[in-house]
């Protein structure tokens, strides 16, 4: 069985976001790029499953759609433990075009389990995983917070409103993964970093694909009114303000 | 030309978010000079379905059929896309919730329709069709132009108020026959928490961080949430430590919520935490550290010890309710 983990590179989650060119693009000066947090958790889970010989997982591959500049996150994934990687040489335009490119990678190479993070922390689109499954016309399970094997077959845990359910689908499928899939992201070891240098990264030229959306501008959130302090000895005053001023209780 | 609004039903019932979605669809349809069709899948009574007409739905369609009872996103996306094509819909609206995230991307590919996900306002313009959405996990908002002829929007929860606008529309229930071999998903076990207000539905949320010091200190926080008819939440370190269940984790990688009131107790307010709560209408911070960044995000603050402040807040709310 082969697992594909789709990865996106995003600004480090503590970055103070700034925009340039009339607020139409992000100012990348000084930004540290990291693997999208949900993708990193997916990768960790894929490697944990591969470590367990009873699952019969032979390989964990990462795929990324992006230009050569995003190679560092691919090397990082290899250092964490992925066996190999595919990079589609295209600056990502929108979820639809990224999913179309990833679908081509899956068609060419064939995978049984495809893991996608539920969103990327930059555009928060929550779209690529479901789109990829539809392009391939295979099942998808969304909001997945657990993946294990029982009697050699994958069993997924899916979050539902107010609970969770166990779901079984035949391979190949796309699992759209959220928090809970693995506890903490795996960290690259020194040996992992050394071996990552020699692991194969296949570079594919993009197939023709459309983009259906584009960003015409950004704005920063409006700063909130400054904080009104209430004396710690008189919390009743806070309740009064919430009732009569904010009118929320 | 019409606007299709998909809302799930929960065991045959709708909830506030369903009416918010229909109201949002009604406003989008008014901008476009067209009507709204509200759609749900699975059994619901005519009385319950008719409620969607109170918020402007000109037509109410309920798709039923034995095979549709299995929550298979491939099958559900197909029937939604088929209906959108049959009715000539050029905008399809979902909630940006668990169901919407599962279905909207699949419908997008079927209809070759671009998605504006997590929109929190009405479209900024119709030509080009531009929507306003959260980006960089709450650190920015993006204006997204959807270039396709059919557009899909997913509406951020609690971002649009339900507005009554009765149409008197009568529900149409349509039985759909699906090729059973298309269903690949089987649910082998379901666990549900009973009776509690869901964090994502709650108007008021009381949330605790590491400043609560110990998992044994949660009682007054839970009591405050309970008497406010709210839900409880927590920060990431608290769920990582196992002090609270991980379903309660709000923040960038946890749940993204937008209640009317978010009370952050002993939470310092790291960027990743604020990413999950910054769309709340009001934020109250209670923290011993007067320099904690949470106070920059809050409209009301108390610098003080949660263990002393919380019981007094409980007391004050009780007095209010007398």
Check pLDDT > 90 for residue A173.
yes
Residue B132 has phi, psi (to 5 degrees) of -115, 120
Contacts of B75 (CB under 8 A, 6+ apart): B67, B68, B178, B182, B183
Chain A residues close to B193, C-beta within 8 Å = 162-163
Give the distance from residue A160's alpha carbon to the nearest chain B alpha carbon, in angstroms: 7
Q: What is the mean pLDDT of chain A?
A: 96
Q: Contacts of residue B152 in chain A, CB cutoff 8 Å?
A: none
Coil vs helix vs strand at B188: strand
Residue B309 pLDDT > 80: yes
What is the pLDDT, as a whole number, of residue B320? 87
Which residues of chain A make contact with B190, given a CB cutoff of 8 A? Answer: 160, 163-166
For residue A225, name the pLDDT band (cuts at 50, 70, 90): confident
pLDDT digits (tens, 9 = 90+) for B45-95: 999 999 999 999 999 999 999 899 999 999 999 999 999 999 999 999 999
- Is A174 an 8 Å CB contact of chain B? no
Best residue of A32, A103, A162 to probe chain B, by most B CBs closer than 10 Å: A162
> What is the pLDDT averaged over residues A47-52?
98
Which region among A14-23, A74-83, B117-126, B201-210 has the lowest average model confidence (pLDDT)?
A14-23
Nearest chain B Cα distance for residue A64, angstroms: 19
Per-residue pLDDT for A14 more than 90?
A: no
Mean pLDDT of chain B: 96
Name the one residue in this structure whose structure tokens are 């679908």. Answer: A103
- Considering only the beta carbons, identify the residue of A127, A216, A243 that sits closest to B320: A243
Residue A13 has a pLDDT of 85
Count of other CB atoms within 10 angstroms of residue B169: 21
Which residue spans within chain A are E strands per DSSP? Answer: 2-6, 9-11, 19-20, 25-26, 33-35, 59-65, 84-88, 113-117, 140-150, 153-160, 163-168, 173-177, 201-204, 213-219, 228-229
| Residue A236, pLDDT score | 93
At the topology level, CATH places domain A2-221 in Rossmann fold (3.40.50)
User: Can you give the pLDDT at residue A129?
Assistant: 98
CA pair distance A70, B172, nearest whole angstrom: 51
Look at residue A178 in the predicted model and tell me its pLDDT: 95
User: Residue A230: which of B145, B189, B300 has the nearest Cβ?
Assistant: B300
Residues paired with residue B120 on neighbouring β-strands, in sequence order: none
Average pLDDT over residues A10-20: 91
The mean pLDDT value for A4-9 works out to 97
Residue of A nearest to B305 (CA): A232
Whether A126 and B130 lie within 8 Å, measured CB to CB: no
Which of A:56-115 have CB within 8 Å of B? 94-96, 99
Mean pLDDT over B278-296 rounds to 96
Sorted by where each starts, the structural domains of chain B and their CATH numbers stand as 2-182 (3.40.50.620), 204-321 (3.40.50.1220)
CA distance B295 to chain A (A): 6
pLDDT at res. B195? 73
Q: What is this model's ipTM? A: 0.96
Q: Which residues contact A107 (CB under 8 A, 6 or more apart)?
A: A136
Distance CA B303, CA B85 (A): 57
Q: Which residues of B255-275 are buried (b: 16+ CB within 10 A; e: fewer)?
A: bbbbbbbbbbbbbbbbbbbbb
Domain range annotation of chain A: 2-221
Q: Output the six-digit token pair for B125.
A: 């313009």
pLDDT at A162: 87
For residues B147-165, one letter each, b for 16 or more C-beta atoms within 10 angstroms of the residue's C-beta and e for the rest, the string is ebebbbbbbbbbbbebeeb
Question: Tens digit of pLDDT for each residue in A197-207?
Answer: 999 999 999 99
Mutate to test the interface with A, among B71, B76, B99, B136 (most CBs of A within 10 A): B136
| Residue B194 pLDDT greater than 80, yes or no | no
- Decide if B26 contacts B52 (C-beta within 8 A): no
Mean pLDDT of B183-200: 89
B2 - beta bridge partners?
B35, B89
Question: What is the predicted pLDDT for the residue at A223?
Answer: 82
Please indicate whether residue B193 or residue A150 has the higher confidence score (pLDDT). Answer: A150
What is the percent of chain A with per-residue pLDDT over 90, rounded to a whole number?
94
Q: Please, which pLDDT band fits residue B196 given cuts at 50, 70 and 90? A: confident
CA distance A163 to A143: 12
Rounded average pLDDT over B238-251: 93
SS3 content of chain B, % helix, strand, coil (to 5): 35, 30, 35
Determine the residue among B105, B186, B225 to mutate to test chain A binding: the one whose Cβ has the most chain A Cβ atoms within 10 Å: B105
pLDDT bin (cut points 50, 70, 90) of residue B322 is confident
């Amino acid at each position: 069985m082969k697992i594909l983990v789709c990865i996106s590179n995003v600004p480090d989650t503590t970055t103070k976001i700034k925009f340039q060119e009339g607020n139409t693009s992000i100012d990348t000066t000084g930004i540290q790029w990291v693997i999208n947090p949900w993708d990193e958790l997916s990768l960790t889970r894929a490697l944990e499953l591969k470590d367990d010989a009873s699952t019969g997982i032979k390989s964990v591959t990462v795929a990324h759609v992006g230009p050569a500049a995003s190679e560092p996150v691919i090397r990082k994934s290899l250092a964490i433990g992925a066996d190999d990687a595919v990079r589609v040489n295209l600056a990502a335009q929108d979820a639809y075009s990224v999913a179309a490119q990833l679908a081509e990678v899956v068609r060419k190479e064939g995978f049984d389990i495809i893991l996608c993070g539920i969103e990327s922390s930059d555009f928060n689109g929550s779209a690529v995983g479901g789109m990829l499954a539809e392009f391939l016309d295979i099942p998808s399970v969304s909001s997945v917070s657990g993946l294990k094997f029982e009697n050699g077959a994958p069993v997924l845990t899916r979050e539902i409103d107010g609970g969770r359910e166990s779901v079984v689908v035949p391979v190949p499928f796309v699992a759209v993964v959220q928090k809970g899939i693995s506890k903490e992201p795996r960290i690259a070891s020194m040996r992992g970093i050394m071996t990552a240098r020699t692991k194969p990264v296949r570079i594919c030229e993009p197939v023709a694909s459309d983009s259906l959306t584009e960003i015409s501008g950004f704005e920063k959130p409006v700063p909130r009114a400054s904080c009104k302090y209430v004396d710690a000895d008189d919390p009743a005053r806070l309740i009064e303000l919430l009732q009569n001023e904010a009118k929320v209780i | 030309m019409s606007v299709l609004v998909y809302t799930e039903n929960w065991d045959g019932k709708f909830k506030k978010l369903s009416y918010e979605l229909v109201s949002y669809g009604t406003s989008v349809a008014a901008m476009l000079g067209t009507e709204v069709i509200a759609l749900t899948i699975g059994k619901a009574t005519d009385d319950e379905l008719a409620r969607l007409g109170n918020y402007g739905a000109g037509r109410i369609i309920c798709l039923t059929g034995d095979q549709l009872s299995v929550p298979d996103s491939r099958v559900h996306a197909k029937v939604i896309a088929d209906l959108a094509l049959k009715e000539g819909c050029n905008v399809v609206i979902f909630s940006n919730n668990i169901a919407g995230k599962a279905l909207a991307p699949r419908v997008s590919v079927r209809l070759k329709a671009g998605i504006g996900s997590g929109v929190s306002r009405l479209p900024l313009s119709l030509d080009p069709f531009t929507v306003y959405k959260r980006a960089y996990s709450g650190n920015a908002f993006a204006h997204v132009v959807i270039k396709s002829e059919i557009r899909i929007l997913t509406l951020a929860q609690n971002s649009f108020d339900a507005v009554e606008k009765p149409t008197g529309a009568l529900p149409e229930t349509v039985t759909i026959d699906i090729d059973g071999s298309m269903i690949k998903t089987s649910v082998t076990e379901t666990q549900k928490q009973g009776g509690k207000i869901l964090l994502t539905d709650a108007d008021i949320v009381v949330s605790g961080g590491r400043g609560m010091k110990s998992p044994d200190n949660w009682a007054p926080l839970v009591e405050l949430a309970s008497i406010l008819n709210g839900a409880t939440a927590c920060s990431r370190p608290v769920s990582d430590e196992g002090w609270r269940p991980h379903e309660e984790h709000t923040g960038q990688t946890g749940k993204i919520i937008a209640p009317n009131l978010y009370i952050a107790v002993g939470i310092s307010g790291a960027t990743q935490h604020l990413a999950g709560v910054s769309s709340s209408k009001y934020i109250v911070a209670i923290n011993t550290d007067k320099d904690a960044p949470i106070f920059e995000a809050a409209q009301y603050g108390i610098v003080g010890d949660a263990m002393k402040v919380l019981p007094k807040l409980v007391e004050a709310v009780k007095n209010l309710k007398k």
